[in-house]
Amino acid sequence: MPRSATRKFSANEREILELLKENEVWKKQLSYTTEEINFLHQLLTADIYQKNILNMYEKLQLFSNDLENFRSENIEFTMEVHNHRYDIEGMLECEDISCEIFYHDEHLKLENRIQEFLERFRNYKLEVFSSTGHAFRKTSTEH
């Protein structure tokens, strides 16, 4: 049955709509992070670095290993955010405030974990960029 344009949303329905919006934002952030991870993989494995920089290969390998850990975490969060949408919709079935509080607390915990992950990934990117930017070959014939 379609919702009438004049029908008011309950407080619970408004809360659910806000949580669903946040869930959609997380989904977009994680999707963008996937693209960044793919780009960084290409950057770290490309043959574009000067060969005479001490420990450069080892540093690139460590960055690549860390990147794979971020990739795994990002996949896990993407699946968790997808499934969390159904948890949010489950709030409509709540018959008491303790049920709603439980779902809301779970939402906040997930939000904190995602924000912490994104912050760690931002710091990782800064480290990669500051450690590799000076090491690019200046010409295509340079070794």
Structure tokens at 134: 């000076």
Do the beta carbons of residue 30 and residue 67 sit within 8 Å?
Answer: no
Per-residue pLDDT tens for 90-129? Answer: 888 888 888 888 988 999 999 999 999 999 999 999 999 9
Per-residue pLDDT tens for 47-69? Answer: 888 888 888 899 999 999 999 99
- Domain range for residue 101? 73-85+94-133
Query: Is residue 126 assigned to a domain?
Result: yes
Distance in angstroms (rounded) separating the CA atoms of residues 52 and 134: 12
Query: Is residue 7 assigned to a domain?
Result: no
Distance in angstroms (rounded) separating the CA atoms of residues 118 and 112: 10
**What was the pLDDT predicted at 134?**
84
Query: Is residue 117 assigned to a domain?
Result: yes
Distance in angstroms (rounded) separating the CA atoms of residues 127 and 44: 12
Q: How many domains is the chain built from?
A: 1
Distance in angstroms (rounded) separating the CA atoms of residues 37 and 140: 25
